[in-house]
Amino acid sequence: MTRFALVLVIIGALNWLLVGLFQFDLVAAIFNGQTAMLSRVVYTLVGLSGIYCIGLLFRDDDRREV
């Protein structure tokens, strides 16, 4: 689940990079606009993944170097 959340966060970050640099929303372009149901689903999943990934900041790393 963590990897899936990270992938969605990366997709969201890349989309925001495109918006910031080129004023191009790739998600909206793929799914026919920002208000299309599939676009809203993608935006929601990316947002929920971002919230989930906040917990990664406070999680202890189980893998320790020996």
As a whole number of angstroms, the distance between CA 3 and CA 56 comes to 11
Give me the residue spans of the domains in the chain. Answer: 2-58
Which pTM value belongs to this model? 0.82
Query: pLDDT digits over 1-28, tens only?
Result: 899 999 999 999 999 999 999 999 999 9
Query: pLDDT digits over 32-64, tens only?
Result: 999 999 999 999 999 999 999 999 888 887 665
